[in-house]
Amino acid sequence: MDSFLIKGGVPLHGDVQISGAKNAVLPLMAATLLTSGECVIRRVPNLTDVRFMGQILESLGCEVKWDGDCVRVRAAKLKPVGDYELIRKMRGSVCIMGPLLGRTRKATVSLPGGCIIGARPIDLHLKGFEALGAKITIEGGDVKAVAKNLVGTSIFLGGRAGPTVLGTANVMMAATLADGITVIDSAACEPEVIDLAKFLNAMGARISGAGSPTITITGVKELHGAEHEVIPDRIEAATYAIAAAATNGEVTLKGIRTDHLHAVLDKLREAGVKLDRVGPDLKVSRGRKLKPVDITTQPYAGFPTDAQAQMMALMCLTPGISIITERIFEARFMHVSELARLGAEISIEGPSAIVKGGRPLSGAPVMASDLRASAALVIAGLAAKGTTQVNRVYHLDRGYERMELKLNALGAKIERTKGE
């Protein structure tokens, strides 16, 4: 498995182009299953998860053509069963279920895998499908959904940790081809849901309310091909902003949507990070002195769980005590023990991590446990003295496009080493 060797202590300087959003593009690619017409998606990041999704679509009978950051998909003929070996590797692959059910009235999908960051059941997805009229069975690790017909209804999708993003996307896609009107209450409000709704509407769907807790879908008989450009990745933008502050650098984020980042930018300002708009871009630099902040992760538009680990790395460098509370995933503190190997002082009390910051970090071998934990360890390694080896960076390749190349272009000293 590949590793990063990071020589720390180098401030980051320069411009970085933010890629298309991973969490948006996977449902967008799945949505192409809803029509036999050709769909064109632009600003597609080159990530292992995205390539996996392309392979999953091909296994379902789709024609998938890549051209740089553009992918063309034609789902003229469909098989209703997804490839187990592909689907088990990525939780996001479950989003093929909604469009398969909507178009063919049946779908079989293996229970998905992905990062180990706590229980992420798909019960709300299945609840939504059942409400539309599907019969759900689970056999041999496969989820099977069959419906003679899908009929619009009112569906409540609130869960223990708030709305479900993929569940909202899945049910919304299935409902586009249902009879009548579907109303999703307690829908996820994330920008990625809005992006999907825009694409579906371009395909001929009738969706209103995306971005609010109530989404209304009026079913149509069929959808057609369309073109769409993916929104920028707000979590990648947050990661590079935090890296700039952690290394006492100055980095301009290009191609971002600051309106998707209000909670993160608010906490960075509170921490003393300097943020300046430069036209459509954002320049990030450390202020005179970093200050500790308290953070609680929440559904959008609250502070995103996907930026929690990165912000914790920054607080490790900040004199004082910060309290970071995780309300979305119960096992998303696996990076704490690895940050401690670099010299961080963090204690866990229930859903909160108490960070006693300001101690200098020093390089050491660390092990990445999930995608965002990997990013946090890279940020800490960039700020630490000496050399940090981050193992299992295949996690990073799932969600960050050419991370080491982008960071090295900003002055970082990162070498990717090949493992067995």
**404 CA to centre of own chain:** 19
Helix or strand (DSSP H, E) at 362:
none
Model confidence at 374: pLDDT above 90: yes
Q: What would the mean pLDDT of 347-358 be, rounded to a whole number?
A: 96
d(CA 259, CA 297): 18
List, in order of start, the domains of the chain with CATH numbers.
3-19+232-417 (3.65.10.10), 22-229 (3.65.10.10)
Which residues are annotated as catalytic? 115
What pLDDT, on a 0 to 100 scale, did the predictor assign at position 295? 98
Q: Are 313 and 380 in contact (CB under 8 A)?
A: yes
What pLDDT, on a 0 to 100 scale, did the predictor assign at position 138? 87
Six token digits for residue 325: 């509370």
pLDDT digits (tens, 9 = 90+) for 197-232: 999 999 999 999 999 999 999 999 999 999 999 999
Name the 3-class secondary structure at 406: helix
| Apex 83 CA angle, 80 and 86, nearest 5 | 140
Percent of the chain with pLDDT over 70: 97
pLDDT digits (tens, 9 = 90+) for 258-281: 999 999 999 999 999 999 999 999
What pLDDT, on a 0 to 100 scale, did the predictor assign at position 338? 97
d(CA 8, CA 386): 6
Higher pLDDT, 201 or 287: 201
Q: Are 22 and 57 in contact (CB under 8 A)?
A: no
Q: Are 12 and 243 in contact (CB under 8 A)?
A: yes
Model confidence at 39: pLDDT above 70: yes
Higher pLDDT, 120 or 387: 387
Q: What would the mean pLDDT of 347-374 be, rounded to a whole number?
A: 96
Residue 114's pLDDT band, with cuts at 50, 70 and 90, is very low
